[in-house]
Structure 1
Amino acid sequence: MENSKLNNNWDKVFPKSEKVNHKKIRFHNHYGIELVADLYEPKNIKEKQLAAIAVCGPFGAVKEQSSGLYAQKIAENGFITIAFDPSFTGESGGNPRATTSLDINTEDFQAAVDFLSTYKKVDSHKIGIIGICGWGGIALNTAEIDTRVKATVTSTMYDMSRVTANGYFDSMSTNDRYKLKEKLNKQRTEDYKNHTTTLDGGLPSKAPEDAPQFLKNYVNYYKTKRGYHERSMNSNGGMAATSSLSLMNMPILQYSNEIKNPVLMIHGEKAHSLYFSKDAFKKLSGENKELMIIPNANHTDLYDNEKYIPFEKIVKFFQNNL
């Protein structure tokens, strides 16, 4: 991955904007993993330095999907933006592939801030981040630790440690948790013995009729022309099954009450995941915090449906706070 040549041909699931310039770039995190990102710059830049935004998510997605759309739209409004592939994902480096770690993923966001802080066209005092879905929780986790992040937006946020450890709506019992850990640790033994990384299987190609509506919504995004991408874990075989062990055991948002800089949280009224944002928002302290609930929007509407994504609000938030 690290030595591969980057192809700048347009390979996104959304149309290319004529208002921005685009190219792929590389940077590395503190674990030595090289990350690949799409860099978006507004055309005809007059200022010597601009405010900048790093974007990532949803969890298991790639930069050619939702995060790239957000990055491009924000760049159209005078910001330099990057949408990056996390470690072990897409065009970024790291092995084994298709795995995850909330610690390393938080570091990935910090590495994106490292890059923007040293990029000559960026004002290093004006850097924000956007986290979508599971990366919303990681964005808050990053804002907890990285004081260089001056403003944070989360969209349709998941707390991945909470949902993995406790199930949806905290429905998993202690006994259920133990059985899951037994199953996953057995899989670890098999993977080690066979030198393999077993994937969790991902989403079905077609959702069963009796499936929960949110699963149907995921399938409608990741498995159709709307959002399918060949490098996306969510569009294909999913992620490493044993990744769930670290997610269960590494809770995030422990110190989110210490975030001093502005936070805007956005969620759909009809989203099954709304409780994640509501609960995370309650823990935030300070006056410059806002939870914006979008009427009638479900979870995946905020991936790419510009009828529901409040881009004007997001742009104004960053203009006012960077």
Structure 2
Amino acid sequence: MVGSTDIYAEDFSAGVDFLGSQAYVDKERIGAVGICGSGGFALSAAAMDSRIKAIATSVMYDISSMGNDMTGEARFEMLDQLSQQRWTDFENGKPAFQPTFPEKPVDQIPEGLDPVSEEFFTFYGMDRGWHPNAFGNVTSTSMLSLMNFPSLAHINEIAPRPILFIVGENAHSTHFSETAYDNAAEPKEIYVVPDVNHVDLYDQVDKIPFDKLESFFTEKM
């Protein structure tokens, strides 16, 4: 799977295109919800697409920031390595891709994983959330796009449209939402769901704050 900050944001705008074409949809009351990495891309889309009137993210990840934490020589070396990989991909006729999760769901978590990887594995690597098209990675050279095009560079321009950041009390991803919150302009809100980790807010319907999402979009649009 190719990873592209622009393509991911465009997917949200394409969704707005479709919704707005439906006779039963009020074009002035279209919002966006993004979970995990899609939270960052929903915000990126809203920064350029004024048709998105309110945005809610849940356990947001700013994936592009993970490719921009290097500076100086280390950043140049990474960019050079990935640039050279493009030659190899072209010669091989296919891009390098290293899956994170197994081709079939497993019953046990592999040994030696760090806590974050272990948490993701409980979802994507097991029956709970395994899918044949979700191996948990992008092509190696996709990192070039993520390093060159930060998703949230214009988050402050979303205002005066409101943003709701939903985080889990025990979620390892909370710092992404806190950073985005600090960089966004008002109106904005962080809502903490007690006693949940990151992946709990993927599929645990008894823990996902649907009532908060409903009230947010009802009040703000």
| Aligned counterpart for 2:162 among listed residues 238, 243, 262 | 262
Output aligned runs, 1:263-278, within 5 Å. Answer: 263-278=163-178
Partner of 1:222: 124
- The total of aligned residue pairs comes to 216
Q: What amino acid is the match of 1:196?
A: K
- State whether residues 167 and 193 of structure 2, in contact with CA within 8 Å, keep that contact through their aligned partners in structure 1: yes
- State whether residues 207 and 215 of structure 1, in contact with CA within 8 Å, keep that contact through their aligned partners in structure 2: no
SS at match of 1:124: coil
Partner of 1:126: 29
| Aligned counterpart for 1:179 among listed residues 73, 77, 84 | 77
Larger CA deviation: 127-136 vs 264-273 = 264-273
In the alignment, the residues of structure 1 paired with residue 171 and residue 72 of structure 2 have an alpha-carbon distance, to the nearest angstrom, of 26
- Residues 192-244 of structure 1, C-alpha deviation per residue, up to 9 Å, x if partnerless? 1121122122236664433221111111101111101112242xxx3211101
TM-superposed CA distance for 1:249, in Å, is: 0.9
In the alignment, the residues of structure 2 paired with residue 191 and residue 316 of structure 1 have an alpha-carbon distance, to the nearest angstrom, of 48
SS at match of 1:165: coil
Larger CA deviation: 253-262 vs 152-161 = 253-262
Q: What amino acid is the match of 1:163?
A: M
TM-superposed CA distance for 1:144, in Å, is: 1.0
TM-superposed CA distance for 1:314, in Å, is: 0.5
Partner of 1:110: 13
Partner of 1:147: 50
What is the TM-score when the length of structure 1 is the normalising length? 0.63
Partner of 1:193: 91
Output aligned runs, 1:274-293, within 5 Å. Answer: 274-286=174-186, 288-293=187-192
- State whether residues 214 and 299 of structure 1, in contact with CA within 8 Å, keep that contact through their aligned partners in structure 2: no
In the alignment, the residues of structure 2 paired with residue 121 and residue 156 of structure 1 have an alpha-carbon distance, to the nearest angstrom, of 31
CA distance 1:150–1:181, change in 2 (3 Å): same
CA distance 1:242–1:207, change in 2 (3 Å): farther
Q: What amino acid is the match of 2:167?
A: H
Partner of 1:315: 214
In the alignment, the residues of structure 1 paired with residue 68 and residue 91 of structure 2 have an alpha-carbon distance, to the nearest angstrom, of 26
Partner of 1:246: 145
TM-superposed CA distance for 1:183, in Å, is: 2.7
Partner of 2:202: 303
CA distance 1:174–1:301, change in 2 (3 Å): farther
| Aligned counterpart for 1:211 among listed residues 96, 109, 113 | 113
Unaligned ranges ≥5, structure 1 = 1-97, 167-171
TM-superposed CA distance for 1:257, in Å, is: 1.1
- State whether residues 20 and 27 of structure 2, in contact with CA within 8 Å, keep that contact through their aligned partners in structure 1: yes
Unaligned ranges ≥5, structure 2 = none
SS at match of 1:267: strand
TM-superposed CA distance for 1:290, in Å, is: 0.7
Aligned residues: percent identity?
40
In the alignment, the residues of structure 1 paired with residue 65 and residue 205 of structure 2 have an alpha-carbon distance, to the nearest angstrom, of 29
Bigger proportion of residues as helix: 2
CA distance 1:305–1:174, change in 2 (3 Å): farther
SS at match of 2:164: strand
Structure with more contact order per residue of length (Cα contacts < 8 Å, sep ≥ 6): 2
Bigger proportion of residues as strand: 1
- State whether residues 99 and 135 of structure 2, in contact with CA within 8 Å, keep that contact through their aligned partners in structure 1: no
- State whether residues 158 and 273 of structure 1, in contact with CA within 8 Å, keep that contact through their aligned partners in structure 2: yes
- State whether residues 153 and 265 of structure 1, in contact with CA within 8 Å, keep that contact through their aligned partners in structure 2: yes
SS at match of 2:28: strand
RMSD: 1.7
Output aligned runs, 1:34-113, within 5 Å. Answer: 98-113=1-16
What is the TM-score when the length of structure 2 is the normalising length? 0.90
Partner of 1:79: none
